[in-house]
Chain A
Amino acid sequence: MIRKTPKLFLGFFYLKTGGIYLSLFGFILGWWLLFQPVTVPSFSSSSSFSVMSENLKITSFPLNRDTVLEKLQTIPESIKLTTAQYDISFSVQDHRGNTLTLSKPILRFLPQTYGSAAILMTLLPPYQIVAIPKAMRKEPHIYPQKVMEQISTDSHRYNTEKIYLQKPELALVASYSDPATLQVFQQQKIQLFYLDAIHSIEDIYSVIATLGHLSGKPSSAEVLIEHMQKIFFSLEDTLHQKLNGKNCRLLYLYSDSLTIPAKNNLSYDLLIRLKKRGVDVLLPDDNISSSHYVKVTEKQILEFNPDLIIISTSHPSLADFLLDKNPRLHRLPAVKNKRIYFVNNSFQNSPNQYITIAYFDLIKSIFYDLEKTSQEVS
């Protein structure tokens, strides 16, 4: 049998100098083990983990609760006001209905969702955030790049050991998180907190408030919510003044197909807000709006006859493709008069404070269109 074996496959092993290979393997293994950093294990978690951190060259941020607390003590009093300690224990419910009871704030967070990561980056210093979703790093136009650079780890499943070494206390996960990863977190004694049902602006406020409580910074969270509310109020107030009783029919489309946002979509909530402020928006019926997107037909759009079209896209050239695919839309006055505006898709569904920019984009398009119309009239 051995003689039949092609040299290409197993010939390497058939040489009679097996001892040489065995020694070579022993040497490689020895070399491998030699270069593994050796640390002495200890029951005192702080010393053990700090030694590990040196080996991994993660010295830019502390790795355990004690060192985070130490660092917090160096913060000036004026900022410390927002890092309140709890006098009594309190309970918070996650989006699955699980109750988490806390007697002290969480100091090391592992956000697995965009929403929670972005909010925590605003509320907390970077060393309290263990990792962020990898895809967030590809969107420096939304999320603060300097902060992201200080958080070196990605909250991805291939980083289980790296995350374990940084000892997070609470993982902010979603129902769609990988079950195996969630099980590993539970085994690592990381508490799971589900935060994934963010379908409206109110949901975002609620998540910010929850994260504020969890991190011991309820006042910072309140300030952030208030700031968002003021932005919305200010934008809507200006819109009200600009509209001044004028009729404005708005069609909001996605660039890949003739679809409009549905009930579980954050853009839907923004459009509802616009509708309440006097903008006539094409929205799906309540009884069929349970998903994220709903298809509309050319006929429906022609009947609606929008004054302006806002297309949510990652690239404006896709919109041309959409219009080419649906030639009947060229009959619309909005298309004929080039009253088509583009908004950045990545902001439009931000389940965090950056949703304010999405709203700003929408209102800016309406302002621009109103100005264009008034110039044409004059």
Chain B
Amino acid sequence: MKKTLWILVFFLCAISIVLLTYGEAPFVSTLLEIPFSFHPSLNTWNPILHERIPRLIILISSGASLAVAGAVMQSVLCNPLASPSVLGMSTGGAFFVLIVFLLGLQNIFFLIPIGAVLGSISALFLVFFIARYSGNKTTMLILIGISISLVLASIQGCILYAIRENWHLVQIITEWSAGTTYDRTWTHVHMQLPLAIVGLTGVFYYINAMNLLATGEDTAKALGIDVEKVRFLLFLFVAFLTGGVTAAVGIVPFFGLVIPHIIRRISGPNHQKLIPLSALTGSCVFCCLDFILRYFKMYFLSIGNLSAILGGIFFLILLFSQRKKTSLA
């Protein structure tokens, strides 16, 4: 475990250095100019200080947030195919951001991130509110979550159809919802990083409780766990993590599903290994995806698109290899 963690930390450092050095502006001279960027009479913008470092922080925290959020959802819902979108959190965040765009408030800063986080949390509360009247069982939570997600996605579709003539707005909404890491600034870091820290700390705090929850609700209750409270808090942390990513990057499909799924296969179901490994692997993979896009100048794709394509293909391969193994056995 320790060795694997160190290898991942080493790899993360390596890819971080590559991301910090790669760009149009020459690295060394730009690095040497950083002290001058604090000079009040000069142009204070510095490509490393104001573009590459915030982007790197966002990449690391987004990758970790999505992977950990997925791992928590898969554990708590006892479903290896679960992800934050199952309880409508991704769609909720996207829906609120769409409203911000519709009201023309997108240029008022912090409203997009606030909308994303509020949307994620509102969708979660709505799912829990409805589930409360339906027995609050895990199966019902999943079904209600999927229904809310579908309803919100349909309303989004209707809104986009209604405003189709306003192609400028449709274009900017499409660009945002595709998930992008271009032009990320400290504002995005300020909005996402606190949420990621709170979410990740909360999840790490409940690692042992998650191990007990994985044995089943009844067993966990018998062992003194307040299942409903722990589950709600974990979902709240997932909402923070997902909302933060939606705010800073946009929608990144499949990432929260594939990474924890692979790590679970490698490390096993123990959350003390699963959660840190998922966080580190998520960060590494997210940084690599961004570097691939930049290095190969794949401007026609966003990080959300690339994650969906690669994640989908990789997930299919995993499923088929699993099926093959089962049939051989």
Contact = CB atoms under 8 A, between A and B. Distances in A.
Nearest to A22: B10
Contacts of B216: none
Given A1-B268, A179-B107, A36 B21 contact: yes
Contact of B25 (A43, A45, A161): A161
Interface string A328-372: 000000000000000000000000000000000000000000000
Given A33-B21, A292-B165, A183 B268 contact: no
B190 interface: no
A107 to B, nearest CB: 15
B46 to A, nearest CB: 9
Given A2-B4, A179-B107, A36 B28 contact: yes
A94 to B, nearest CB: 13
Contacts of B43: 45, 167, 188-189
A6 interface: yes
A88 B14 CA distance: 55
B33 interface: yes
Contact of A165 (B24, B42, B273): B24
A38 B33 CA distance: 11
A182 B172 CA distance: 13
A162 B273 CA distance: 43
B267 A33 contact: no
A182 B108 CA distance: 11
Interface stretch (B74-82, B139-147, B179-187): B179-187
B300 to A, nearest CB: 11
B190 to A, nearest CB: 12
Interface string A169-187: 0000011101111111001
Contact of B18 (A13, A32, A45): A32
Given A10-B7, A55-B26, A161-B23, A180 B184 contact: yes
Interface in A134-185: 156-162, 164-165, 167, 174-176, 178-184
B36 A41 contact: yes
Nearest to A96: B107
A188 B45 CA distance: 5
A179 B106 contact: yes
A5 interface: yes
A176 B171 contact: yes
Contact of B165 (A181, A182, A291): A291
Interface of B: 1, 3-4, 7, 11, 14, 17-18, 21, 23-29, 32-33, 36, 39, 42-45, 47, 50-51, 104, 106-107, 109, 112, 165-166, 168-169, 171-172, 175-176, 180, 182-185, 187-188, 262, 266-268, 273, 294, 299
19 contacts: A9-B262, A9-B266, A10-B7, A29-B14, A38-B26, A43-B36, A45-B43, A158-B299, A160-B51, A161-B25, A162-B24, A180-B184, A181-B182, A181-B183, A183-B185, A184-B50, A188-B43, A189-B43, A292-B166
